[in-house]
Amino acid sequence: GAVVSQHPSRVICKSGTSVKIECRSLDFQATTMFWYRQFPKQSLMLMATSNEGSKATYEQGVEKDKFLINHASLTLSTLTVTSAHPEDSSFYICSAAPLLAFFSYEQYFGPGTRLTVT
Amino acid sequence: GESVGLHLPTLSVQEGDNSIINCAYSNSASDYFIWYKQESGKGPQFIIDIRSNMDKRQGQRVTVLLNKTVKHLSLQIAATQPGDSAVYFCTFRGSNYKLTFGKGTLLTVNP
């Protein structure tokens, strides 16, 4: 149980185009989903917190107009990198907190999406 | 501000030996800590967690120790195996489920 998937696992796009990454909780409902970015040999940096049915909360320094987040259902959140540039190339990872996890602090991670912008 | 740091960025051990990965944190208000393992090209995998009202918790081959006095967390892996080779992150939970990740320690297990 508690599986989170991401699609695609790898994507290569040209500079200036937009890329959408999906994060799905397969066997549980997630009130909250998180999006992280990880550069090579570095730690995970939280980009934004996504709550179902409401606007995402972005961390300081993350451009909300560039990284569009939609959490339309309790099992799906999407991250769209708009007008991608080579510096956006990174490993994007999502995580999901189950609906009833308020007291258990559970958070499950997806396998990540490798974005390469050429 | 919140931060989590690691004492050793890399650790190399022989197969069968015990491994100890250390972590320091600065936010004394944190009440929940988690160790994650990340293999190359994959997402973090939960290993073990501990609440601040505990100082030790054991799992299968892993033990987490928490010293709140000096704000120090450690992960002990018994009888380390090649499959344990990965980057290990200590994290703590802040407000609104947010996790703060440390820099990570690369564990290499030599056969």
What is the C-alpha radius of gyration for chain B, rounded to an integer number of angstroms?
13
pLDDT per position as a tens digit, B22-40: 999 887 778 889 999 999 9
Question: In B, which residues are within 8 Å of A4 by CB distance?
Answer: 43
- At which residue do the structure tokens 């297990």 appear? B109
- CB neighbourhood size of B106 (10 A): 16
| Mean pLDDT calculated for residue range A105-112 | 87
pLDDT per position as a tens digit, A4-26: 999 999 999 999 999 999 999 99
Q: How far apart are the CA of A59 and the nearest CA of chain B, in angstroms?
A: 11
Helices of type H across B5-94: none
Q: Do A97 and B97 touch (CB under 8 A)?
A: yes
pLDDT at B7: 47
The B62-67 sheet, strands edge to edge? B4-6, B19-25, B72-77, B62-67, B56-58
Question: In B, which residues are within 8 Å of A105 by CB distance?
Answer: 32, 34, 49, 93, 97
| CB A71 within 8 Å of CB A77 | yes
